[in-house]
């Protein structure tokens, strides 16, 4: 079987990297490894999502990140917002790295654990769900994140995702509009679309 970052247990040989990256004004120190998404730097789509996401207008409550990888989105939002952020991934190696990166960067208001999409999340009424979805896992997975996300949001909660136009942003926006009856592209940058729906 091919070795992908969206598998539970990547079998690729370890290749530990350490580097820093400034997100929302904080210089984060990241540990990454083979078998996780964008191990060499914070990918551009995640950066655009982090910059576009506004937590200040959300209702009270936790934020959920689906597919956290080694943690850049969830850790940046947790640090800057002060809100509790639950971060999940199906990839055991990614979850371990995200936990290490939370400790390394002294971000304590996070709850990081394994979950296949929403299978093992800890709440039912998040103020917001964020995702840089695993496009290579296929449209079915991306649409599952959108469709099932509705039931895990409180009223006025938001679902915000990043997808490249050429990798299915119009399809994702259409699905979000079907599920939520609204879907707004809140930012476009170098072909990346930040799409948000409000419950």
CB 175 within 8 A of CB 147: yes
Average pLDDT on 17-36 reads 95
Among the four given CATH numbers 3.40.605.10, 3.40.50.150, 3.20.20.70, 1.10.4190.10, the one describing domain 17-198: 3.40.50.150
Domain range summary for the chain, segments of one domain joined by +? 17-198
Q: What is the DSSP letter of 114?
A: E
pLDDT band at 34 (very low <50, low <70, confident <90, very high): confident
Q: What percent of the chain has pLDDT over 90?
A: 86
pLDDT at 10: 55
The pLDDT of residue 65 is above 80: yes
Q: What is the DSSP letter of 37?
A: T
Q: What backbone phi and psi angles, to 5 degrees, belong to 125?
A: -140, 65
Average pLDDT on 11-17 reads 82
Give me the residues paired with residue 63 across strands: 85, 128
Q: What percent of the chain has pLDDT over 70?
A: 94
Q: 69's torsion region: left (phi>0), alpha (psi -120 to 50) or beta?
A: left
pTM of the full structure: 0.94
CB 132 within 8 A of CB 161: yes
- Residue pLDDT, tens place only, 99-147: 999 999 999 999 999 999 999 999 999 999 999 998 877 789 999 999 9
pLDDT at 11: 63
Q: Identify which of 132, 110, 114 has the alpha carbon closest to the alpha carbon of residue 50.
A: 132
The 10 Å Cβ neighbour count of residue 72 is: 26
Q: CA 127 to CA 187: how far, in whole Å? A: 20
């Amino acid at each position: 079987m091919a070795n992908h970052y969206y598998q539970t247990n990547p079998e690729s040989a370890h290749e530990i990297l350490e580097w820093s990256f400034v997100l929302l004004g904080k210089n984060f120190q990241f540990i990454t490894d083979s078998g996780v998404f964008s191990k060499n730097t914070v990918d551009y789509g995640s950066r655009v999502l982090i910059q576009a996401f506004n937590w200040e207008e959300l209702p009270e409550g936790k934020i959920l990140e689906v597919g956290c990888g080694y943690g850049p989105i969830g850790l940046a939002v947790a640090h800057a917002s002060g809100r509790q952020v639950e971060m999940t991934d199906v990839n055991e190696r990614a979850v371990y790295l995200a936990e290490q990166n939370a400790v390394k960067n002294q971000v304590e208001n996070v709850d990081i654990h394994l979950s296949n999409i929403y299978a093992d999340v800890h709440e039912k009424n998040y103020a917001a769900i964020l995702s840089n979805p695993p496009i290579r896992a296929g449209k079915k997975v991306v649409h599952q994140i959108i469709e099932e996300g509705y039931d895990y949001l409180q009223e006025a909660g938001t679902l915000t995702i990043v997808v490249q136009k050429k990798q299915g942003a119009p399809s994702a926006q259409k699905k979000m509009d079907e599920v939520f009856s609204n879907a707004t592209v809140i930012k476009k940058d170098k072909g990346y679309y930040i799409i948000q729906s409000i419950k």
